[in-house]
Structure formats: C-alpha cells, structure tokens
Amino acid sequence: MPALHPAGKIRAGATTRFRRGDVHENPQNAIRPPRIAQCGSFVNASSGCLADAPALLRTVSRLLSMTAPTPASDSVAITQPASRRGRWLLTILALLVAGGLWWRLGDVGHAQKGPGGMGRGEQGPQPVTAAVAKAQPLPVWFTALGTVTPRSLVNVMPRVAGLLQSVDYKQGRMVRAGQLLAQIDPRPFQIAVEQAQAQVEQTAAQLAGAQRDLVRYETLLGQDSIAAQQVSDQRATVAQLKATLDANKAALNNAKLQLSWTRITAPVAGLAGLRPVDAGNMVSTNGAIGAAGSTPTSTSTSTTGATPVAVIAQVQPIDVAFSLPQQQLQPVLDALRAGRRPLVQAWDSTRSHELAAGTLYAADNRIDASTGTLMLRAEFANRGLELYPNQFVDVRVLLRTVAGAVVVPTPAVAVGAPGTYVYVIGAAGKVALRRVSTGATDAGLTQITAGLNPGEQVVTDGLDRLHDGAVVHVVPSRAASAATPRAAAGASGARGAGGAHRP
C-alpha cells in the first residue's frame, strides 16, 4: 500500500496537480494538519491522560518539523500564499498544544498538594505554634458604644450687672465648690447697702419716738387728759413705722445679697472650660456684654441664651451613657432589680486599652421605639480624669462568668468549608481536623462548647498550610514566623520539578 503524506490527502509519488484556485475554491482539497484528539486530562485530573504526555510531545515535535520549508516537488504544485498560511496554522496549533500540556502539568501538581497541604515533593513537618486547651472561668460580656457625659454641666451666669473686674480661675483646670471664679465691681452695690442701712436706722429711730409718744398718750388717756382718738392715731403710727422698718430691713438684706453676688463662685466642683468672657467687659443677667464705659448690648432676653462667666463640668464621678438592644436587656434589668450593680468597663476606640472600670446604676424607663434599644448609665470614679466629657468609648458590661469553660486562643479556631474547626495535634506530630462549637470570647480566648477536651493541643498559627493528617512540629511563635518563608521556598522548589503552581 503506498505511503500517505502526513496530511493524509496525497500519496507519495503521485503526479496529481492542483489548479491555482483549488485551495480557495475547494477548501476540502487544501492540505490540512493532522487532527489531535482532545485529552480529557486538561480538565479532569482523574482521567489519567497525563500518562500520554510523551506522545503529545512527539506530536508537537512532528508538527513543528512540518512548518519548516521543504523543496518544491514536481508532483505537488501549491501556491506560495497557501503554503505560508499552512505553516502559520501549524505553528499556532503546536503552540496551543504545548501550552495546554504545560498548564495541565501545573494543575496536576497543584491537585496533588490538596487545599493547604504539602505536595508530593515537599518533605518534612510544617512549623506551627500551638497551645493547650484549658478549663477556666470565662466572663461573658455585652459590648456597646457609649458616650461620656458629665454628672452635671453648669453654666455659671452673672446674677448682677456690672463691670467684670477679674476672672480668677484657670481654664481647663479643676475648681472646688465655692472657689472664686470672677469678681464684678462691688462699689455700686456697697453704696446701695449703705443707703439701705441708713434707711433702716432712720425708720428705727422714728419708730422708737413713736413708741415713746404712744406710752405717754396711753398714760394721759388713763388720767382722762387726752382724747382717745389721739391715742388710737399714735398706735397706727407705731404700727406703720414697724412695717416700714421691716421693709427697710428687707431692702438692706437685698442690697447685701446683691453685693455678695459680685463675687461669682463655683456652685459645684468640677472641670472648668475655656473662658467665655474676659475681664473689663460689662456683664448683665440677660447676657448683655459690652466694653467698660459703654451701654451693654443684650444678646438674649433670657438666661438660656446668656453668656456665662464660666462653664463647669462635674467629672468626678462621671457617667457613661450607652444603649443595649432589647434582646440583651433581661439579664441587665434582672441584676438592677435585685440591687446588684454589674461591672462596666470603658475601653478606647481601638479596644486595646482599658480606660476605667465602673458600675451600672440606672436604666431609662422606656425602650426607644425607633431603634429597639434601652438607654443605660454607668458610673465611674474617674479619679485620674481618664474619661473626658463627650468622649466616645467602647463599653463592656459583665453579665455572668462561665465556670470551667474550655478555652483556646482565638486564632486556633478557623471557619471554612468543614464548618468551625481546629487542628488537634496528635501522636508523632500528626494533626487532625476537628469540628467544634464555640461560645463566648474574651481577652483573646474563645470558649469551645463541644468537640474539644481540656489538655488537648491545638495549632494556633500556620493553619493555612495544613490539611487533615499533615505532620507538624511545634516551635515558638517567632520561630514559626521565620520558618514560614523557608517552607514556602521549599514548596516552590518541589513544584518546580512538576510544573508551575497556580493559586
């Protein structure tokens, strides 16, 4: 039987010729490259087609050899454009086959490793850190976002109008109750006191004379030497002067009170804010402020809009206001009704530093219908001024403590396709994937409610490099971090023998 041309269309030695237009007009007459059966191993690692890799390589080599130019044959006359196009098609096909083979080899090498595991070329245990599961008390906390609020916020207003002579407190410093904050010019009020005092003395003198006359008139009336009407009039005069004296004494007391109000003192102890008004200004009870020698201009008709002389925030003790959802309220409300004050901690916004510890002491009388939360207040001594008014803090409320809880470091617990699990280190350093159930967390520890016993050793770092049945050796945390790059480098070298690794 005569040998066939590699294209499978023309026998060797045949004298068949083609016209110039045969290639384009009759595509079936064109020389076609051999068809290569598709290999399922490019898609499915279980097909076993990778064993045909040598045959595929030979096919690629044969295709590449077909692209080289050959001497013109008298038996075959093909136009130059068609020949050039055929060579291009063969070259592209060869490259596609080679690329698919390269991709498949890398895919199989990756499949042999498995998820998070070691490849066949990787030898030796993986370096990991580990911890032992322990049974210990574990506190259960509720967390919320809170705002620091002063126990009281006092706007110290002037109670009399006048020239502000001095401001006697330091801004941003603590002040004592009764401490002098500012002084208003007392001279006009001192004069008013003296005038009131004189009125009292004058009225007292008049009353004394009227009383003496009344005694004399009553004596004369007993002797029937004076008319009864005159005695009656004198008695009315005495009563009138007594009332006038009482009114003058009240006016004197009022003048003294006005004078005392020129000394503005702190009504409560607390932290003074920045100075809202300077010495030399005219101040008024309705918020009027103006320069000395000018008529004060009213800024408000009520004390609500008046300018205070000082603002004092009571910060020792200080409160933190926060809210909890109604689903978490029952244990808190039960504790308050029983007279207990649950422990409350205030942490900074990074949750890395505890600012202060206090107690829960009050709850609002209604739940906010728009948010479904209840406002609560906790009290903090704040002796070192750790908490500042209007500061945002993370609040933790201690509800209860679980006795004998099985706990592991939180990094030891992973969540993935198997569910929630840990790697338990067994005999000879072999790990087993163990599904677990978790509970409360606190201070980097997670409670394991099912699936783990106290005393069992679990992997805490390097879980991403492990699989069920992998062999590990436990190293200190720093050593494990340093060993990880070396292990990754070894894995890359092992993969180099079998092909490129695809993540």
Taking the chain, what is the end-to-end CA distance rounded to the nearest angstrom? Answer: 52
Token pair recorded at residue 36? 């290569």
3-state helix, strand, coil in the chain (%, to 5): 35, 30, 35
What pLDDT sits at residue 82? 54
What pLDDT sits at residue 296? 46
What pLDDT sits at residue 84? 67
Phi, psi of 300 (to 5 degrees): -165, 155
Nearest by Cα to 156 from 52, 283, 254:
283
**Cα–Cα separations (whole angstroms), residue 485 to 245, 338, 492:** 99, 57, 11
What pLDDT sits at residue 22? 44
Give the 3-state secondary structure of residue 363: strand
The string of pLDDT tens digits covering residues 421-453 is 999 999 888 999 999 999 988 888 999 999 999
433 pairs with which residues across the strands?
Answer: 423
The string of pLDDT tens digits covering residues 10-60 is 444 444 444 444 444 444 444 444 444 444 433 343 344 444 555 555 665
Phi, psi of 222 (to 5 degrees): -70, -25
- The amino acid at residue 266 is A
Token pair recorded at residue 462? 């390097």
Nearest by Cα to 271 from 183, 382, 366, 358:
382
**Which segments in the chain show pLDDT lower than 70?**
1-85, 103-123, 287-305, 478-503
496 pairs with which residues across the strands?
Answer: none
Give the 3-state secondary structure of residue 213: helix
**CA 59/CA 41 separation, integer angstroms:** 17
Query: Strand 343-347 and strand 263-265: pairing?
Result: unpaired
What pLDDT sits at residue 289? 53
What pLDDT sits at residue 405? 92
What pLDDT sits at residue 55? 58
**CA 163/CA 279 separation, integer angstroms:** 8
Say if CB 11 and CB 3 are below 8 A apart.
Answer: yes
Nearest by Cα to 331 from 342, 320, 317:
342
- The amino acid at residue 324 is L
What pLDDT sits at residue 419? 93
What pLDDT sits at residue 165? 95
237-244 contact pairs (CB < 8 A, 24+): 237/210, 237/213, 238/207, 238/210, 238/211, 238/214, 241/203, 241/206, 241/207, 241/210, 242/207, 244/203, 244/206, 244/207
> What single-letter DSSP state applies at residue 386?
-
What pLDDT sits at residue 421? 95
Say if CB 309 and CB 161 are below 8 A apart.
Answer: no
Phi, psi of 487 (to 5 degrees): -65, -40
Longest dimension (CA), the chain: 183
Q: 485: cis peptide before it, omega within 30°?
A: no
